[in-house]
Copies of this chain bind each other. A is one copy, B any other.
Amino acid sequence: MKLNDRGLLIVISGPSGVGKGTVRKALFEMKNHNLTYSVSMTTRKIRPGEKDGKDYYFVSREEFERKIEEGKFLEHAEFVGNYYGTPLDKVDALLDQGKEVVLEIEVDGALQVKKKMPDCVMIFLVPPGKQALYDRLRGRGTESEEVIEQRIQKANREFKKAKLYDYIVVNDEVMNAADRIMAIIRAEHAKTERSIHKYMELIGEEEE
């Protein structure tokens, strides 16, 4: 029996190259999970085969900018001339349905989310060492030395943001990291601040 029925907003972040996507994928492949994605909104053109509301919500630049002003995004960013953002109302609706909404997101975006929804669960994924990350950033092998150097500088700045998160999870083995995140989700549901309300109902007491 779970005392907290509302889903959790799980923010998985960490320095560039740490393997956020791989860990997120492993999470969704686990058994008995109740995880879901939130579909992002974008101003980029819809591509053949994409569906509005499935791949993205496709909107005009004007509409996106109006939504920014109205505070309708959990986070948003501009990338090669297009906006991308996570609509707050869509996430809220999923949480109300009891779904755990997983956002896999860059450090800057994650900190925006924390401000908008402070009871989200902030997880900082880290490599088992700096060198492991540098090797990964180099290993992609398709970029120039200059681009790689910029990425390393960026990762070095991002490393220092760990203290702003609730949890630090080492991505030494993908399944270890995914298991630990699942444990965090279970534990967070049992946290007193999330469960006291239903508990008081259960025992028929008014909260003081």
**Nearest-Cβ distance from residue A11 to partner chain B, whole angstroms:** 13
Cβ-closest chain B residue relative to A167 = B190
Given the complex, which residues of B lie within 8 Å of A196, measured CB to CB? 162-163, 168
Instruction: Report the separation of the CA atoms of residues A74 and B187 in the bound assembly, to the nearest whole angstrom.
Output: 25
Given the complex, which residues of B lie within 8 Å of A116, measured CB to CB? none
Within A191-208, the residues touching B (CB, 8 Å) are 191-192, 195-196, 199-200, 202-205, 208
Q: Would you call B162 and A199 a contact (CB within 8 A)?
A: yes
A28 within 8 A of B: no
Give the segment of A50-58, A107-115, A122-130 that binds chain B: A122-130
Select which of B128, B168, B186, B200 is within 8 A of A180 by beta carbon. Answer: B186
Within A146-190, the residues touching B (CB, 8 Å) are 159-160, 162-163, 165-170, 172, 176, 179-180, 182-184, 186-188, 190
A1 within 8 A of B: yes
Copies in the complex: 2
Instruction: Report the separation of the CA atoms of residues A129 and B119 in the bound assembly, to the nearest whole angstrom.
Output: 27
**Nearest-Cβ distance from residue A193 to partner chain B, whole angstroms:** 9
A3 within 8 A of B: yes
**Nearest-Cβ distance from residue A182 to partner chain B, whole angstroms:** 8
Known: A2-B170, A129-B203, A186-B187. 12 other contacts (CB 8 A): A1-B128, A1-B176, A3-B170, A126-B199, A160-B205, A162-B192, A165-B192, A168-B195, A168-B199, A180-B187, A182-B183, A183-B187
